[in-house]
Amino acid sequence: MAVPDGFVMRVHRVRAEVVVAACDAELVGRDLPIGATGGTVHISRQFYGERAVSREELLWALQRATVANLLGARVLEIAAEGGFVAPEGTGTLGGVPHAEIFAVPG
């Protein structure tokens, strides 16, 4: 799979929600450790997708998202450059940079 900017994305529509899931491409298929109990979370194609997108397409989707789940340094860098996340608003999932964004109607 050719990944021009190094990340993949999938848009899920659930009722009125538009959920954008995007991650650095090399994370798909990996199991990331969570917590001290030895648990893991699987980074699946079903959730994050397998379609390579450009940074412009990711930013376009984030502008329309009501919820976003972002995983990986490259994806978070793009989201930060677009003003969607701030460094203090991110965390890690299994040691990988991670952020969730929720649009609050105002």
Predicted local confidence at residue 37, as pLDDT = 84
**Distances from the Cα of 22 to the Cαs of 3, 9, 59, 60, 63, in angstroms?**
13, 4, 11, 13, 14
Q: In this predicted structure, which of 30-39, 57-66, 70-79 has the lowest mean pLDDT?
A: 30-39
Helices marked H in 1-106 — which ranges? Answer: 45-48, 55-64, 73-81
pLDDT tens string 11-48: 999 999 999 999 999 999 999 998 888 899 999 999 99
Domains of the chain, residue spans: 7-102
Q: Beta-carbon neighbour count of residue 76 at 10 Å?
A: 23
Predicted local confidence at residue 106, as pLDDT = 58
Q: What is the second-level CATH architecture of the domain 7-102?
A: 2-Layer Sandwich (3.30)
Indicate if the pLDDT at residue 4 is higher than 80. Answer: no
> What does the block give as tokens for 44?
């699946």
The model scores a pTM over 0.85: yes
Please give the share of the chain, as a percent, with pLDDT higher than 70.
92
What rounded mean pLDDT belongs to the chain?
91
